[in-house]
Structures are given as C-alpha cells and as structure tokens.
C-alpha cells in the first residue's frame, strides 16, 4: 500500500516526473542532498532494451525493436544512520535522470524531508499527462472516419443495374 504523501500511485511517479521541468526537480533534490548522504546500491546504467514477441504461425521468437533504458538504485542515509532506498527505471538513455528520479522515489516512498514539494511536482506532472491524453483523444475523435457507408453505394448501383 502506498503510504506516501503523494496522491498519485507509485507506479505512475516516473511517468509524471517526466512531464515536469527537470530543473524544478533538481532544485528540490539539491535540498534533499544537503540533508541525506546519497549512495548507489547498484551502478546507474543506460543502454538498449529489446522487445521480443513470438510468431503466431511458427511460434518462434523474433525481435520487434530496441528502446533506450536507464536504471538507478540509490540509498539515502540520514544523520542518525537510517537508510532509505529508491530506484528508477526509465525509457531514456540518461542514467543521470534515472538517478535523480531514484532519489525522488526514495523521498516519496519513505515520506522524507521535502516529500510534499516532490509530491506537488508529481501531481503537476500527472495533471499534465492526463491533459495530454485528453487532447490526443479529442484529436482522434475529430479524425474518426465512418466506413459503414462506403459499401452501400456500390451495392445500390449493382441492384439498379441488375433490375
């Protein structure tokens, strides 16, 4: 269960943060870094992921394509020695952004200092994302084509010619 100060579910935090200006996130994380020691639990990495599926006829695997991926796993330690972990995995090629988002994840997931500021940014990003979805749906709705009438004209001509 998500007991974070953020109303957006944890599974959507990265998506929402991608919609916010990175400089705003960095400003909050700079304050966090002054309060916590940041260490990597695993070395941040970036590279290519491969999307694989299976042929429906022969049931043989094949690759649809590649996509960029960056991962980071951090540990924040406070002055009392308490440790808090956070991680991020993004479809991006910048491990620095992944590390930044991993710190955000640690702060939000553990209700650490500046959690409310980050939660506001996540909620702003989620709002921007949902607005973009609405706009795309409106664009798709305005370009919808009704193909149900296409066949009726040809059938009417055939009926009048054969009669």
Handedness of CA 7, 9, 12, 14 (dihedral sign): positive
Rounded CA separation 95/72 (Å): 7
Coil/strand/helix, residue 41:
strand
What is the tens place of the pLDDT at every residue in 30-45? 999 999 999 999 999 9
What is the tens place of the pLDDT at every residue in 50-92? 988 998 888 898 888 899 999 999 999 999 999 999 999 999 9
**pTM for this one?**
0.80
Domains of the chain: residue spans and CATH: 13-139 (3.30.390)
CA nearest to 29, candidates 127, 109, 106: 106
CB burial of residue 17 (10 Å; 0-12, 13-18, 19+): buried
């Amino acid at each position: 269960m998500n007991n974070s100060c953020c109303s957006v579910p944890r599974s959507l935090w990265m998506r929402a943060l991608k919609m916010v200006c990175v400089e705003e996130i960095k400003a909050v994380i700079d304050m966090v870094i002054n309060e916590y020691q940041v260490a990597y639990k695993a070395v941040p990495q970036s590279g290519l992921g491969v999307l694989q599926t299976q042929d429906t006829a022969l049931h043989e695997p094949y690759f649809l394509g590649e996509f960029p991926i960056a991962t980071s796993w951090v540990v924040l330690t406070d002055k009392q020695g308490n440790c808090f972990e956070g991680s991020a995995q993004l479809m991006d090629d910048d491990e620095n952004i992944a590390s930044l988002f991993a710190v955000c994840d640690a702060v939000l997931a553990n209700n650490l200092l500046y959690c409310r500021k980050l939660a506001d940014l996540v909620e702003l990003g989620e709002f921007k994302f949902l607005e973009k979805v609405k706009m795309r749906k409106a664009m798709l709705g305005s370009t919808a084509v009704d193909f149900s009438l296409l066949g009726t004209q040809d059938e009417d001509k055939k009926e009048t010619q054969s009669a």
